[in-house]
Amino acid sequence: MSLQWLVTIGLWFYGFVLLALSLRILMKRRPVGVTLAWLLFLYILPGLGIGFYLLFGERYLGRLRAKRANQQFQYYSLWLQRILVAQHDMLSLGTVLRPVMELTRGSIGMPVITGSQWQLFNQATDVFNKLILDIDQASVTIFIEFYILEAKGEVEHILLALEGAVARGVHVYVMLDSVGSNRFLRSKRCQLMVVNGVKILDVLHANYLRMTLRRQDLRQHRKLISIDNKIAYTGSLNLADPKFFKTKSGVGPWVDIMVRLEGDISRIIQGTLVFDWEMETGVRLEKHLEWPAFTSPTDQNLMQLLPSGPALDEEILLQVLLTAIHNAQHRVIITTPYFVPDEALLQALKSTAKRGLDVTLIVPRKNDSKLAQYAGRSFYHELLTAGVKIMRFNSGLLHSKTVIIDDHLVLMGSVNLDMRSIWLNFEATLMIDDENFCDAMLEIVNEYKSQSQQLHLHQWKNRNYLQRILENLAQLTSPLL
Give the C-alpha separation, 184 to 186, whole Å.
5
Domain annotation covers residue 309: no
- Do 123 and 177 fall into the same domain? yes
pLDDT score, position 205: 79
Domain annotation covers residue 90: yes
Choose the final residue of a domain: 302, 334, 362.
302
Choose the final residue of a domain: 242, 276, 302.
302
Catalytic residue selected from 134, 223, 276, 433: 223
The angle subtended at Cα 234 by Cα 233 and Cα 235, nearest 5°, is 140
Report whether 234 contacts 83 (CB < 8 A).
Answer: no
326 is catalytic: no
Does the global pTM surpass 0.75?
yes
- Do 142 and 280 fall into the same domain? yes
288 is catalytic: no
pLDDT score, position 304: 94
- Do 48 and 125 fall into the same domain? no
- Do 413 and 370 fall into the same domain? yes
pLDDT score, position 60: 56
Catalytic residue selected from 134, 221, 230, 264: 221
- Do 124 and 41 fall into the same domain? no
The residue segments making up the domain with residue 198 are 63-98+111-302
- Do 340 and 375 fall into the same domain? yes
- Do 51 and 69 fall into the same domain? no
Dihedral of alpha carbons 303, 308, 314, 315, sign: positive
228 is catalytic: yes
Nearest to 393 by CA among 334, 452, 454: 452
- Do 441 and 325 fall into the same domain? yes
Catalytic residue selected from 202, 368, 406, 408: 406
Domain annotation covers residue 105: no
Nearest to 267 by CA among 319, 231, 215, 317: 231
Helix, strand, coil % over all residues of the chain, rounded to 5: 45, 20, 35
Residues 6 or more apart in contact with residue 264 via CB below 8 angstroms: 113, 114, 115, 116, 292, 293, 294, 295
Task: Please give the helix or strand (H or E) that residue 163 lies within, else none.
Answer: helix 155-167
Domain annotation covers residue 159: yes
Domain annotation covers residue 297: yes
Alpha carbon 216 to chain centroid distance? 17
- Do 248 and 394 fall into the same domain? no
Helix ranges restricted to H, 286-418: 316-326, 343-354, 370-377, 380-386
Domain annotation covers residue 308: no
Domain annotation covers residue 106: no
- Do 335 and 457 fall into the same domain? yes
- Do 247 and 157 fall into the same domain? yes
Catalytic residue selected from 230, 399, 433, 449: 399
Strands (DSSP E) contained in 4-125 are: 113-114, 117-121
Catalytic residue selected from 134, 228, 241, 418: 228
- For the chain, the domain total comes to 3
Domain annotation covers residue 389: yes
pLDDT, one tens digit for every residue, the chain (481 residues): 566 777 677 677 767 777 777 777 777 666 666 777 777 777 777 777 776 666 666 665 555 555 665 666 666 777 777 777 666 554 543 445 678 998 998 888 888 888 889 999 999 999 999 999 999 999 999 999 999 999 999 999 999 999 999 999 999 999 999 999 999 999 999 999 999 999 999 998 776 544 444 444 578 999 999 999 999 999 999 999 999 998 888 889 999 999 999 999 999 999 999 988 988 888 888 788 877 776 655 557 889 999 988 766 668 999 999 999 999 999 999 999 999 998 899 999 999 999 999 999 999 999 888 888 888 898 999 999 999 999 999 999 999 999 999 999 999 999 999 887 887 789 999 999 999 999 999 999 999 999 999 999 999 988 888 888 888 777 776 655 5
401 is catalytic: yes
- Do 168 and 20 fall into the same domain? no
The enclosing domain of 448 has a CATH number of 3.30.870.10
pLDDT score, position 155: 97
Catalytic residue selected from 401, 433, 434, 449: 401
Distances (CA, A) of 161 to 32, 68, 125, 268: 49, 32, 15, 24
pLDDT score, position 95: 47
Choose the final residue of a domain: 302, 335, 368.
302
